[in-house]
Protein backbone atom coordinates (compact mmCIF):
# COMPACT_ATOMS: atom_id res chain seq x y z
CA UNK A 1 0.00 0.00 0.00
CA UNK A 2 0.81 3.74 0.04
CA UNK A 3 1.80 3.96 -3.61
CA UNK A 4 2.22 7.26 -5.40
CA UNK A 5 2.29 7.44 -9.17
CA UNK A 6 3.24 10.19 -11.57
CA UNK A 7 2.33 10.75 -15.18
CA UNK A 8 4.05 11.16 -17.49
CA UNK A 9 7.36 9.62 -16.48
CA UNK A 10 9.15 11.78 -19.01
CA UNK A 11 8.18 14.56 -21.38
CA UNK A 12 9.92 16.61 -24.02
CA UNK A 13 8.37 19.87 -25.11
CA UNK A 14 9.16 22.99 -27.07
CA UNK A 15 10.02 26.24 -25.37
CA UNK A 16 6.94 28.31 -24.65
CA UNK A 17 4.52 25.45 -24.25
CA UNK A 18 2.86 24.31 -21.03
CA UNK A 19 3.25 20.88 -19.49
CA UNK A 20 1.01 19.21 -16.92
CA UNK A 21 2.31 16.57 -14.54
CA UNK A 22 -0.08 14.42 -12.53
CA UNK A 23 0.56 12.95 -9.10
CA UNK A 24 -1.82 10.32 -7.78
CA UNK A 25 -2.07 8.43 -4.52
CA UNK A 26 -3.25 5.02 -5.66
CA UNK A 27 -4.43 3.32 -2.52
CA UNK A 28 -4.85 6.04 0.06
CA UNK A 29 -6.15 9.54 0.43
CA UNK A 30 -3.65 12.33 0.72
CA UNK A 31 -4.76 15.66 2.06
CA UNK A 32 -1.25 17.02 1.59
CA UNK A 33 1.03 16.49 -1.37
CA UNK A 34 4.39 18.05 -2.08
CA UNK A 35 6.18 18.99 -5.27
CA UNK A 36 9.96 18.90 -5.54
CA UNK A 37 12.40 19.53 -8.34
CA UNK A 38 15.83 18.02 -8.65
CA UNK A 39 18.65 19.04 -10.96
CA UNK A 40 21.35 16.53 -11.93
CA UNK A 41 23.68 15.60 -9.09
CA UNK A 42 21.76 17.85 -6.71
CA UNK A 43 19.36 17.30 -3.86
CA UNK A 44 15.60 17.66 -3.91
CA UNK A 45 14.27 21.15 -3.54
CA UNK A 46 10.77 21.66 -2.21
CA UNK A 47 8.73 23.82 -4.55
CA UNK A 48 5.32 23.87 -2.96
CA UNK A 49 2.91 22.19 -0.60
CA UNK A 50 -0.41 21.21 -2.10
CA UNK A 51 -3.46 20.93 0.14
CA UNK A 52 -6.68 19.41 -1.07
CA UNK A 53 -9.34 22.04 -1.63
CA UNK A 54 -7.13 25.03 -0.97
CA UNK A 55 -4.40 27.06 -2.58
CA UNK A 56 -0.91 25.69 -2.65
CA UNK A 57 1.82 27.15 -0.48
CA UNK A 58 4.90 28.00 -2.48
CA UNK A 59 8.46 28.11 -1.21
CA UNK A 60 10.41 31.31 -1.46
CA UNK A 61 11.69 31.93 -4.94
CA UNK A 62 9.19 29.66 -6.68
CA UNK A 63 6.90 31.53 -9.09
CA UNK A 64 3.33 30.52 -8.41
CA UNK A 65 2.15 31.84 -11.77
CA UNK A 66 4.66 29.71 -13.59
CA UNK A 67 4.19 26.52 -11.60
CA UNK A 68 0.46 26.08 -11.23
CA UNK A 69 -0.65 23.52 -8.68
CA UNK A 70 -4.13 22.08 -8.38
CA UNK A 71 -5.20 19.59 -5.74
CA UNK A 72 -8.80 19.00 -6.67
CA UNK A 73 -9.27 15.66 -4.98
CA UNK A 74 -7.78 13.58 -2.19
CA UNK A 75 -5.95 11.40 -4.67
CA UNK A 76 -4.76 13.81 -7.35
CA UNK A 77 -2.52 16.83 -7.50
CA UNK A 78 -1.29 18.39 -10.72
CA UNK A 79 1.67 20.61 -11.48
CA UNK A 80 1.53 22.68 -14.66
CA UNK A 81 4.71 24.29 -15.88
CA UNK A 82 3.49 27.22 -17.92
CA UNK A 83 5.47 28.71 -20.79
CA UNK A 84 8.29 26.29 -20.17
CA UNK A 85 11.86 27.25 -21.00
CA UNK A 86 15.05 25.20 -21.17
CA UNK A 87 16.01 26.24 -17.64
CA UNK A 88 12.85 24.51 -16.39
CA UNK A 89 14.26 21.20 -17.56
CA UNK A 90 14.52 19.11 -14.43
CA UNK A 91 13.32 16.03 -12.57
CA UNK A 92 10.02 16.78 -10.85
CA UNK A 93 8.98 14.58 -7.95
CA UNK A 94 5.79 14.59 -5.94
CA UNK A 95 5.13 13.06 -2.56
CA UNK A 96 2.18 12.50 -0.27
CA UNK A 97 2.19 12.60 3.49
CA UNK A 98 0.33 9.87 5.29
CA UNK A 99 -0.53 10.12 8.95
CA UNK A 100 -0.16 6.94 10.95
CA UNK A 101 -1.54 4.65 8.29
CA UNK A 102 -1.63 1.55 10.45
CA UNK A 103 0.83 -1.06 9.36
CA UNK A 104 2.09 0.97 6.43
CA UNK A 105 3.69 4.20 7.43
CA UNK A 106 5.50 5.96 10.18
CA UNK A 107 4.20 9.28 11.33
CA UNK A 108 5.34 12.15 9.13
CA UNK A 109 6.50 9.72 6.48
CA UNK A 110 6.28 10.90 2.92
CA UNK A 111 5.71 8.52 0.03
CA UNK A 112 7.37 9.69 -3.14
CA UNK A 113 6.34 9.23 -6.72
CA UNK A 114 8.75 7.88 -9.34
CA UNK A 115 9.38 11.35 -10.76
CA UNK A 116 8.86 13.04 -14.11
CA UNK A 117 11.77 14.11 -16.25
CA UNK A 118 10.98 17.27 -18.16
CA UNK A 119 13.16 18.36 -21.06
CA UNK A 120 12.40 21.69 -22.68
CA UNK A 121 13.97 22.22 -26.07
CA UNK B 1 13.86 23.07 10.94
CA UNK B 2 16.99 21.34 12.15
CA UNK B 3 19.83 21.42 9.67
CA UNK B 4 21.65 18.20 8.95
CA UNK B 5 25.22 17.48 7.92
CA UNK B 6 26.32 14.25 6.25
CA UNK B 7 29.45 13.12 4.42
CA UNK B 8 29.13 13.92 0.74
CA UNK B 9 30.27 10.50 -0.39
CA UNK B 10 31.37 7.10 0.86
CA UNK B 11 32.84 4.01 -0.76
CA UNK B 12 32.40 0.47 0.42
CA UNK B 13 32.83 -3.08 -0.81
CA UNK B 14 30.20 -5.73 -1.20
CA UNK B 15 29.47 -7.62 1.97
CA UNK B 16 30.70 -4.90 4.29
CA UNK B 17 28.67 -3.06 6.87
CA UNK B 18 28.24 0.62 6.08
CA UNK B 19 27.59 3.28 8.66
CA UNK B 20 26.52 6.76 7.59
CA UNK B 21 26.45 9.38 10.30
CA UNK B 22 24.31 12.49 10.22
CA UNK B 23 24.79 15.49 12.51
CA UNK B 24 21.78 17.51 13.63
CA UNK B 25 23.02 19.64 16.50
CA UNK B 26 19.91 21.80 16.79
CA UNK B 27 17.35 19.03 16.73
CA UNK B 28 14.16 19.96 18.57
CA UNK B 29 12.43 17.92 21.24
CA UNK B 30 9.60 16.82 18.96
CA UNK B 31 11.73 16.10 15.89
CA UNK B 32 11.96 12.64 14.40
CA UNK B 33 14.90 11.44 12.31
CA UNK B 34 14.11 9.87 8.96
CA UNK B 35 16.38 8.33 6.33
CA UNK B 36 15.58 8.00 2.65
CA UNK B 37 17.35 6.24 -0.22
CA UNK B 38 17.32 7.52 -3.77
CA UNK B 39 18.44 5.78 -6.94
CA UNK B 40 19.14 7.81 -10.09
CA UNK B 41 16.00 9.05 -11.83
CA UNK B 42 13.73 7.69 -9.12
CA UNK B 43 11.86 9.18 -6.20
CA UNK B 44 13.28 8.74 -2.69
CA UNK B 45 12.33 5.61 -0.81
CA UNK B 46 11.76 5.48 2.95
CA UNK B 47 14.35 3.42 4.82
CA UNK B 48 13.87 3.97 8.52
CA UNK B 49 12.69 6.46 11.10
CA UNK B 50 13.45 6.89 14.79
CA UNK B 51 13.26 9.20 17.76
CA UNK B 52 15.85 7.84 20.19
CA UNK B 53 18.01 4.79 20.99
CA UNK B 54 17.95 2.12 18.33
CA UNK B 55 15.51 1.17 15.63
CA UNK B 56 15.88 -1.85 13.38
CA UNK B 57 13.91 -3.07 10.42
CA UNK B 58 14.48 -5.57 7.66
CA UNK B 59 16.86 -3.36 5.72
CA UNK B 60 18.71 -1.15 8.19
CA UNK B 61 19.34 -0.05 11.74
CA UNK B 62 19.27 3.46 13.09
CA UNK B 63 21.34 4.40 16.12
CA UNK B 64 20.53 7.59 17.99
CA UNK B 65 22.58 8.62 21.03
CA UNK B 66 20.99 10.04 24.13
CA UNK B 67 21.64 13.67 23.17
CA UNK B 68 20.07 13.04 19.73
CA UNK B 69 22.52 15.47 18.10
CA UNK B 70 23.51 12.83 15.60
CA UNK B 71 22.29 9.58 14.17
CA UNK B 72 23.90 6.69 12.32
CA UNK B 73 22.30 4.66 9.58
CA UNK B 74 23.74 1.17 9.46
CA UNK B 75 23.40 -0.99 6.36
CA UNK B 76 24.48 -4.59 6.98
CA UNK B 77 26.33 -6.47 4.28
CA UNK B 78 25.81 -4.04 1.42
CA UNK B 79 25.50 -5.18 -2.16
CA UNK B 80 26.03 -3.39 -5.46
CA UNK B 81 22.33 -2.55 -5.53
CA UNK B 82 22.74 -0.42 -2.42
CA UNK B 83 24.67 2.15 -4.44
CA UNK B 84 22.50 5.23 -4.06
CA UNK B 85 22.19 8.59 -2.34
CA UNK B 86 21.09 8.47 1.28
CA UNK B 87 19.33 11.44 2.87
CA UNK B 88 18.97 12.19 6.56
CA UNK B 89 16.01 14.40 7.46
CA UNK B 90 14.87 15.83 10.75
CA UNK B 91 11.44 17.20 11.48
CA UNK B 92 8.33 17.24 13.60
CA UNK B 93 4.87 16.01 12.67
CA UNK B 94 3.53 18.24 9.98
CA UNK B 95 6.83 19.87 9.15
CA UNK B 96 8.03 19.80 5.62
CA UNK B 97 11.17 17.92 4.74
CA UNK B 98 14.29 19.88 3.86
CA UNK B 99 16.66 17.70 1.90
CA UNK B 100 20.37 18.26 2.38
CA UNK B 101 22.91 17.12 -0.21
CA UNK B 102 22.79 13.56 1.07
CA UNK B 103 25.54 10.93 1.07
CA UNK B 104 26.43 9.28 -2.20
CA UNK B 105 27.29 5.66 -1.38
CA UNK B 106 29.24 3.67 -3.92
CA UNK B 107 29.44 -0.07 -3.36
CA UNK B 108 32.32 -1.66 -5.20
CA UNK B 109 32.65 -5.33 -6.17
Q: Which of B42, B46, B101 sits opposite A109 (nearest CB)?
A: B46
Predicted local confidence at residue A58, as pLDDT: 95
- Rounded to the nearest angstrom, the minimum Cα separation between A114 and chain B is 5
Residue B37 β-bridge partners: B45, B86
Sign of the CA dihedral A25, A114, A6, A54? positive
Q: What is the pLDDT of residues A7-47, one digit of tens each?
A: 999 999 999 999 999 999 998 888 789 999 999 989 999 99
Please state, in angstroms and rounded to a whole number, the distance separating the CA atoms of residues A94 and A77. Answer: 9
Predicted local confidence at residue A100, as pLDDT: 55
Q: Which chain A positions have a beta carbon within 8 Å of B47's beta carbon?
A: none
Omega within 30 of 0 (cis) for the link into A8: yes
Which stretches of chain B score pLDDT less than 70?
1-2, 93-94
Predicted local confidence at residue B60, as pLDDT: 97
Minimum Cα–Cα distance from B97: chain A residue: A46
List all residues 6 or more positions away from B68 whose beta carbon is below 8 Å from its beta carbon. Answer: B24, B27, B31, B33, B51, B52
Task: Check residue A83 and report its DSSP letter.
Answer: S
Exposed e or buried b for every residue in B29-65, given b needs 16+ CB within 10 A?
Answer: eebbbbbbbbeeeebbebbbbbeeeebeeeebbbbbe
- Rounded to the nearest angstrom, the minimum Cα separation between A99 and chain B is 9
Query: What is the band of A1 on the pLDDT scale with cuts at 50, 70, 90?
Result: low
Mean pLDDT (chain B) is: 92
* Average of per-residue pLDDT across A74-101: 90
Nearest Cα neighbor of A19 from A119, A102, A105, A97 is A119
Judge: A106–B42 Cβ closer than 8 Å, yes or no.
no
Q: Which chain A positions have a beta carbon within 8 Å of B36's beta carbon?
A: 112
Query: What is the band of A99 on the pLDDT scale with cuts at 50, 70, 90?
Result: low
Q: What is the pLDDT of residues A46-66, one digit of tens each?
A: 999 988 888 899 999 999 999
Judge: A43–B49 Cβ closer than 8 Å, yes or no.
no
Amino acid sequence: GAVVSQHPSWVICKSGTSVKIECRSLDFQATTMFWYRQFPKQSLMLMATSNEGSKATYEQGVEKDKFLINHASLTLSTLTVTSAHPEDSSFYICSARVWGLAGVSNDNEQFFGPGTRLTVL
Amino acid sequence: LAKTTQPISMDSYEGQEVNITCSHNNIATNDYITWYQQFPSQGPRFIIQGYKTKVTNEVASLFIPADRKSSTLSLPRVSLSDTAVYYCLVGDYGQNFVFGPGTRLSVLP
